[in-house]
Chain A
Amino acid sequence: MWSLAHIANEIHQWLNNTFNPTWTLIIEMVLAGVAVIGLFAALGLVLVLMERRVAAWIQIRLGPNRVGPLGLLQSMADTLKLIVKEGLTPDGADKVMFNIAPFIAMIVAMLLMAPIAFAKDFQLWDLNIGVLYVTAVSSIMVISILMAGWSSNNKYSLMGAMRSGAQIVSYELSAGLSIMTIIVLTGSLQVSDIIQAQSNGWWIFKGHLPVWISFIIFIIAVTAETNRAPFDLAEAESELTAGFHTEYSGMKFALFFLAEYINVFIVCAIGATLFLGGWMPLHFGSNNAFNNAMDYIPSSVWFFGKTFFLIFLIMWFRWTFPRLRIDQLLNLEWKYLLPISMFNLLLATAMAILGWHF
């Protein structure tokens, strides 16, 4: 059956036949880099437009519908505006840190793309510690926010950054522990192994209670980790005007903005991979007729379908819930989510050892 993996293999073989192995590797790296940047830009445009249309749908209004057919070019126009805008650096700011911070946010978001399987056998780097790599790299994100808040020399920014620091560091624990549940059940950190383990049913279906609990905790924790409402305390525009990026303008602001959306995409992709089977079509045990029918839907459609479903869920949160207060936010994590996920991990471990899952 046709798949993206065939194209990738074709290119790989052609390159191997034409150049020596070193050049092949270099060219492939460049291609991968270009692909990531392209995907990055495309996702940014799509997600911003999607957010605005979802918001409009929830808020009984039309949303952007003027630029291009059905308003599809709206985010293009916005990007153009942001590019031509002057990127101001405030007088009292720490200039080096101020200018580096948005790029760190961007680089982190790009690095996170590496282990994600976008379709069957279509992955940049299937490293053996894939999930660990994601949790490790995503925690660098907080450094860019702290840098931005500190170097702006603005009290609003600083407060936003400190909130964000406390928030991301705390919620990483829950996110990590809920990911652990799946690792315990699969017995591997490798993304391809995790997906392969779900070939006879996604973990959300065959994992029983522990996986359901960890899925819910995962969604809450990653919403907090990406600074999305109802946990958008780092920005909290009714309290801190714009939080850590108050002083940013033009393309530097756009990079933060893009990084936020790409992070949302990535955490949703991770969620889809761990709990909903990644690119794995919907399979039920040994019901072959059904399984084969499902296989006819391309694996990339499965992956992006699941990811965008989770993204929609997170957008739905944003446009429905009010914001938490900082102490309530930390209470929720340390007093409720963390103990629950620890207990849940024990449960999942017991289940995995006793083989109670399907």
Chain B
Amino acid sequence: MYRETEILQQTSPGIIGETGEFTINVGPQHPATHGVLHLVITLSGETIKKVEPHLGYIHRSIEKMCESLNYRQFIYVTSRMDYLSAHINNHACALCVEKGLQIEVPPRAQVIRILMDELTRVASHELWWGAMAMDLGAFTPFFHAFRERESINEIMEETCGARLTMNYIAPGGVVQDLHPDFQRRVKEFLKLYKRKIHEYDELVTGNIIFQNRMKGIGMLSAKDAISYGVTGPAARGSNVSSDIRKIQPYEIYDKLEFDEVLETGCDSFARYMVRIREMQQSIRIIEQLIDNIPEGDFQAKTKAVLKLPKGEFYTRVETARGELGVYIVSEGGTTPYRIKFRSPGFSNLSVLDHIARGSKIGDLVAMMGTLDLVIPDIDR
């Protein structure tokens, strides 16, 4: 029997097993999944016995598509994987191509890339913060988060020409130079952000209901985090050092002053605090760089047609959700022979069943929020 038919039979109305357990579908269309994720959850009353994710509803075979696109083109498809950190995805791919071709990226381009990365990270965390609060039933933070995110989007729009899928990075540097207003706009954003950041704590972090909903639930030990391959803020909430910017610095991250945010709580609240504090670290990086953008080329001289030498290339970067790995196998042609993305969302989702068992259905939603799942990133 097809698995889907089986699920349909299990989840049809009125079927409650002999043990009193029953199965419900959360998704593919459900307010809590923020996309087309399908979870089949087995419940006993309000208590979760099992969570079974079903993927593939938004699978677009991006990896296969990349095999028929050349090394300049395939980067732009990856914007559609994790659309909230599209810029960082592009960055990872460009790094991999540059590694293969051994292109030296000019310092100006490196700084621009990092600035954009960190702005993307802040924007992504802002959206996560709003959606997280919405999962817990508070609607207002979503709009407050969008107020700050909007000014980042405007900065992106001016320089890159797009607000969400920026497509701003090309092998060798960036597509075009910064907009003349860029520095002024970023400084304005920094000012706005610092004026508004206390609202985040007052509205959500310090709220007693919120803290009670988050503390002590969704426990993920450091050992489990490592064995499930959890990365990014979700792992750092369990005190697992996993920031690629620190472990294996790319571009000029090793010259910048910032801290890897680690929390020891291991619960949902720790994962929440990691992201909140990480935003401040990103702001710190932007502050260091915004007045020190070196003059020079924004792109290295590259050949019109890029051909990677025969071999295998792997790079990894830290996206807003965790470690994104890009693995290219080249046969020496103009298109990759095989591409594989190691997306953070996929491994982070795999831990959901482990942390959700035994908790209430309301907690499941909160835990999914703290894992910060972006479904197109999981399915690709």
Chain A residues within CB distance 8 Å of chain B: 55, 58-61, 92, 153-156, 159, 163, 229-230, 232-233, 236-241, 319-328
Contact = CB atoms under 8 A, between A and B. Distances in A.
B147 interface: yes
Interface string B355-368: 00000111111000
Contacts of A153: 13-14
B213 A322 contact: yes
12 contacts: A59-B142, A153-B13, A155-B13, A156-B24, A238-B137, A239-B32, A319-B139, A320-B140, A321-B209, A325-B212, A326-B362, A328-B212
Contacts of B142: 59
A320 B203 contact: yes
Given A159-B46, A325-B213, A238 B140 contact: no
A312 to B, nearest CB: 15
B210 interface: yes
A321 B46 contact: no
Contact of A232 (B137, B143, B212): B137
B134 A238 contact: yes
B143 A241 contact: no
Contacts of B203: 320
B144 interface: yes
B51 interface: no
Contacts of A239: 32, 361-362, 364-365
Contact of B138 (A236, A240, A322, A328): A322
Given A320-B203, A327-B360, 20 more contacts: A55-B139, A59-B142, A60-B143, A60-B147, A92-B13, A155-B13, A163-B46, A230-B209, A238-B135, A238-B137, A239-B32, A239-B361, A239-B365, A322-B133, A322-B138, A322-B210, A323-B136, A324-B209, A325-B362, A328-B213
A352 to B, nearest CB: 33
B46 A326 contact: yes
A241 B147 CA distance: 27
Most buried by B among A60, A154, A240, A328: A240
Interface of B: 13-14, 22, 24, 30-32, 46, 133-140, 142-144, 147, 203-204, 207, 209-210, 212-213, 360-365
Contacts of B147: 60
A323 B141 CA distance: 13
A323 B137 contact: yes
A159 B209 CA distance: 22
A163 B32 CA distance: 19
Given A238-B31, A238-B32, A324 B213 contact: yes
B365 to A, nearest CB: 5
A165 to B, nearest CB: 13
Contacts of B22: 155
Nearest to A163: B46
Contacts of B140: 58-59, 319-320
Contacts of A154: 13
Contacts of A240: 361
B204 A238 contact: no
List the 10 shortest-distance A-B pairs measured between CB atoms, nearest first.
A323-B137, A322-B136, A59-B143, A322-B138, A325-B362, A238-B32, A153-B13, A155-B24, A238-B135, A322-B210
Most buried by A among B46, B137, B140, B210: B137
A323 B362 contact: yes
Contacts of A233: 362
Nearest to A326: B46
A320 B137 contact: no
A236 B137 CA distance: 7
Nearest to B203: A320
Contacts of B360: 325-327
A50 B206 CA distance: 28
Contacts of A325: 212-213, 360, 362-363
A142 to B, nearest CB: 18
A159 B30 CA distance: 16
A237 B29 CA distance: 12
B33 to A, nearest CB: 10
Contacts of B31: 237-238, 241
A322 B209 contact: yes
B211 to A, nearest CB: 10
Contacts of B139: 55, 59, 319
A59 B363 CA distance: 25
A156 B31 CA distance: 13
Contacts of A232: 137
A237 B139 CA distance: 11
Contacts of B361: 159, 239-240
Contacts of A238: 31-32, 134-137, 365
Nearest to B139: A319
Contacts of A156: 24
Contacts of B32: 238-239
Contacts of A59: 139-140, 142-144
Nearest to B217: A325
A60 B365 contact: no
A255 B35 CA distance: 31
Nearest to B23: A155
